[in-house]
């Protein structure tokens, strides 16, 4: 019987059960008639078994407590994480140094705002890091699934952020201004968690709203700063500090900031 | 968004196999568990992206593959396998009973000499017993590439174990044939 000689890749795939039908029969026939090739495949099989034997004992080892705890830990990303350190920290460092340097000049001149400098900087960095993200711009998306699913996600996002920030977080409706909510994420701030809400217009341009529980700073009116491509309005209203960041012109950002301030969730203000 | 308890239970279920893969990839036990830890954290941070119709193990192994790549890029220590230490670790733990010590050392030596591009598909197919399609999904490469890499990995491994490359494999330890 003469058949075409199967190459090593085909023999190897045959060993792994990846060859079907007539090809499989052809290879079996070949191996029966060619003991040297058959011996080689048997050695591969022996290596495979040796590898399995070498590492299978791991399955019987007791599971380290630390791994079990990781699986059950809440708020993995906010509390600690190689994930953040590995991916975001590198980005934050680079972008943060650049943007922090840009921002410092404008804000630091006004003593009244000095205390807020740190967090507005973080708001700008967070925008620069996440707004360009195509696939993972937000942690919780409110745009996936049908409308019922979206509403459910909106409620979830609002409740979650409110609980974590310990200030009421309302998902501002900016549709009158042409912006749809994309979703939000939790971020680390100096003294606890902060939140970022992301909005997008029909052209795909994004703005982010950074929220944090105000430390001690008194309520403060809108302030504007712009450096490079990004503009920012920031203010403190009751228990919450807000920073609206985006590449839009000042008037556009102001309109958005006013729309947000009008929707202030603090019941004392209504 | 916090991962729900069902997902966490599923995740716990795949940890042993995840550990085995990490161990076969990294050799150094603490480093392997670090990789597992990172993988779990990433899985939890992205749990809502997991499609429940798919195989969680394949998804998690894919995360481990990415994390391992990141680690190799970030930290040269993890890319340099130290077989002496790996076998010392193994010997200290006693290893699997009844298995020849020389066999384990040679196997790990040989495995460590494979390029990561060959080692990963070989381990996924041989030890984790994934199909080529699953392996392709984990590694983000075409099925045909899996097929050729597994085949080349087998040939290289055999070459190292046969001692046709003796000088570099065993050093002063001397080689024993596996089979």
Assembly ipTM? 0.77
> pLDDT digits over A144-175, tens only?
888 888 888 999 999 989 988 888 888 999 99
Q: Is B56 on the interface with A (CB under 8 A)?
A: no
Query: What is d(CA A157, CA A171) in angstroms, rounded to the nearest whole number?
Result: 8
Q: With bands split at pLDDT 50, 70 and 90, how would you rate the model's confidence at A117?
A: low
Contact A32, B171 (CB under 8 A): no
Q: Looking at per-residue confidence, does A229 or B30 come out higher? A: B30
Mean pLDDT of B6-31: 88
- Residue A55 has its nearest CB partner, among B20, B42, B132, at B20
Query: What is d(CA A145, CA A129) in angstroms, rounded to the nearest whole number?
Result: 26
Whole-Å CA distances, B169 to B108, B175, B177: 10, 8, 12
Cβ–Cβ gap B8/A72 under 8 Å: yes
Query: What is d(CA B152, CA B160) in angstroms, rounded to the nearest whole number?
Result: 12
What count of residues does chain B have?
179
Q: Is B19 on the interface with A (CB under 8 A)?
A: yes
Which residue is closest to B160 within chain A, CA to CA?
Answer: A47
Identify the residue among A43, A49, A53, A82 best suited for mutation to test binding to B, counting B beta carbons within 10 A and taking the highest.
A82
Instruction: Return the sign of the alpha-carbon dihedral for residues A11, A13, A15, A17.
Output: negative
Q: With bands split at pLDDT 50, 70 and 90, how would you rate the model's confidence at B105?
A: low
Chain A nearest-CA distance from B117, in A, is 16
**Residue B123 predicted with pLDDT over 60:** yes
Cβ–Cβ gap B108/A54 under 8 Å: yes
Contact B176, B103 (CB under 8 A): yes
Contact A215, A239 (CB under 8 A): no
Q: Is B103 on the interface with A (CB under 8 A)?
A: yes
Neighboring chain A residues of B150 at a CB cutoff of 8 Å: 9, 12-13, 16
Buried b (16+ CB within 10 A) or exposed e, A87-123: bbeeebeebbeebbebbeebbeeeeebeebbebbbbb
Task: Tell me which residue has tokens 């699997």.
Answer: B96
The span from the first CA to the last CA of chain A, in angstroms, equals 91
Contact B96, A56 (CB under 8 A): yes
pLDDT of residue A73: 78
> pLDDT digits over A204-214, tens only?
889 999 999 88
């Amino acid at each position: 019987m003469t058949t075409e000689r199967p190459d090593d890749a085909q023999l190897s795939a045959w060993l792994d059960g990846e060859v079907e039908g007539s090809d499989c029969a052809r290879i079996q026939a070949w191996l029966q008639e060619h003991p040297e090739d058959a011996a080689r495949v048997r050695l591969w099989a022996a290596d495979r078994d040796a590898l399995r034997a070498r590492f299978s004992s791991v399955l019987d080892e007791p599971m380290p407590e630390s791994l079990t705890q990781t699986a059950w830990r809440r708020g993995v990303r906010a509390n600690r994480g190689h994930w953040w350190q590995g991916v975001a920290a590198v980005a934050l460092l680079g972008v943060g140094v650049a943007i922090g340097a840009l921002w410092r000049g404008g804000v630091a001149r006004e003593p009244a705002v000095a205390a807020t400098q740190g967090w507005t900087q973080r708001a700008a960095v967070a925008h620069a890091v996440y707004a360009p993200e195509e696939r993972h711009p937000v942690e919780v998306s409110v745009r996936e699934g049908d409308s019922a699913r979206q509403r459910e996600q909106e409620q979830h996002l609002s409740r979650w952020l409110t609980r974590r920030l310990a200030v009421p977080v309302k998902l501002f409706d900016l549709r009158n201004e042409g912006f749809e909510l994309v979703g939000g994420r939790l971020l680390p701030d100096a003294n606890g968690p902060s939140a970022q809400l992301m909005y997008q217009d029909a052209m795909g341009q994004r703005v982010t709203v950074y929220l944090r529980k105000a430390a001690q700073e008194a309520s403060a009116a809108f302030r504007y700063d712009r450096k490079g491509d990004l503009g920012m309005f920031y203010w403190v209203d009751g228990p919450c500090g807000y920073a609206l960041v985006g590449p839009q012109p000042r008037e556009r950002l102001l309109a958005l900031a006013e729309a947000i301030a009008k929707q202030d969730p603090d019941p004392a203000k209504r | 968004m916090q991962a729900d308890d069902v997902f966490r239970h599923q995740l716990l279920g795949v940890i042993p196999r995840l550990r085995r893969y990490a161990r076969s990839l990294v050799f150094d036990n603490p480093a392997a568990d670090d990789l597992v830890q990172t993988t779990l954290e990433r899985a939890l941070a992205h749990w809502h992206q997991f499609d429940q119709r798919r195989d969680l193990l394949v998804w998690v192994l894919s995360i481990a593959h990415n994390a391992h790549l990141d680690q190799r890029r970030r930290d040269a220590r993890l890319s340099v396998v130290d077989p002496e230490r790996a076998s010392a670790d193994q010997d200290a733990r006693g290893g699997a009973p009844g298995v020849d010590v020389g066999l384990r050392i040679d196997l790990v030596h040989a495995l460590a000499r494979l390029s990561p591009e060959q080692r990963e598909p070989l381990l996924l197919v041989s030890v984790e017993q994934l199909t080529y399609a699953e392996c392709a999904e984990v590694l983000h490469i075409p099925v045909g590439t899996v097929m050729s890499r597994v085949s080349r990995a087998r040939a290289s491994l055999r070459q190292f174990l046969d001692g046709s490359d003796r000088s570099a494999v065993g050093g002063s330890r001397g080689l024993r044939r596996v089979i």
